[in-house]
């Protein structure tokens, strides 16, 4: 089903993984920035040849150890959140890819990495199209506690400070209209 793809599974319940975790914990006491899972992945891929290593957010500081086996030019950092660069990031990665101009500009303004690009998240809307009758919409609104006169604002995302949900709640509370409603949908814990 997935052509030209190899899945590598890291079993975190093994004694070997737990010993690696202990080794990483001790190394981090001495100023290293390691991550047990990322070190296990490195053990699996270090003898293979790859054009690029694309790091998806997460513990991106822990990828400096990859430079023993891969060139900096092969290391790409892909951010889904807004954040700044630092010494470790600039020393590890040769390219940055952000999901928006804002994310990319924030990173670029704090980094020495010259190749900073935007690759917007995409979605095939055709996969989510569904015809819903007016009656079905009314039933859904009623089930969720909304009337047909309510104007519903939806927040859909992780409930973390960076997403701004607290500011949204405060803003909705400032509106003097009983038909303005806020629905919060938490995703991706």
Angstrom distance (rounded) from CA 166 to CA 162? 10
* pLDDT of amino acid 189: 61
- Which residues touch 87 (CB under 8 Å, ≥6 apart)? none
- Taking the chain (189 residues) in runs of 10, the rounded mean pLDDT of each run is 89 94 95 92 93 88 94 95 90 96 95 95 86 93 94 92 92 95 87
- pLDDT of amino acid 61: 87
Res 174: pLDDT: 96
Q: Are strands 180-186 and 53-56 parallel, antiparallel or unpaired?
A: unpaired
DSSP character for 77?
Answer: E
| Residue 111: closest CA among 132, 90, 129 | 90
């Amino acid at each position: 089903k997935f052509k030209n793809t190899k899945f590598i599974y890291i079993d975190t319940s093994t004694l070997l993984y737990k010993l690696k975790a202990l080794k990483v914990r001790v190394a981090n006491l001495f100023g290293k920035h390691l991550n047990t899972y990322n070190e296990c992945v490195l053990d699996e891929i270090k003898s293979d040849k790859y054009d690029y290593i694309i790091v998806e957010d997460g513990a991106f500081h822990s990828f400096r150890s990859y430079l023993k086996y891969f060139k900096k030019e092969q290391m790409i950092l892909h951010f889904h959140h807004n954040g700044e660069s630092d010494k470790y990031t600039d020393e590890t990665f040769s390219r940055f890819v952000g999901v928006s101009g804002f994310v990319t500009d924030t990173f670029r303004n704090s980094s020495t990495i010259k190749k900073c690009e935007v690759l917007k998240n995409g979605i095939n809307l055709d996969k989510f199209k569904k015809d819903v009758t007016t009656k079905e919409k009314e039933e859904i609104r009623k089930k969720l506690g909304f009337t047909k006169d309510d104007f519903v604002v939806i927040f859909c995302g992780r409930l973390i400070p960076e997403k701004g949900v607290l500011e949204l709640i405060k803003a909705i509370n400032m509106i003097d209209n009983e038909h303005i409603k806020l629905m919060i949908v938490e995703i991706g814990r």
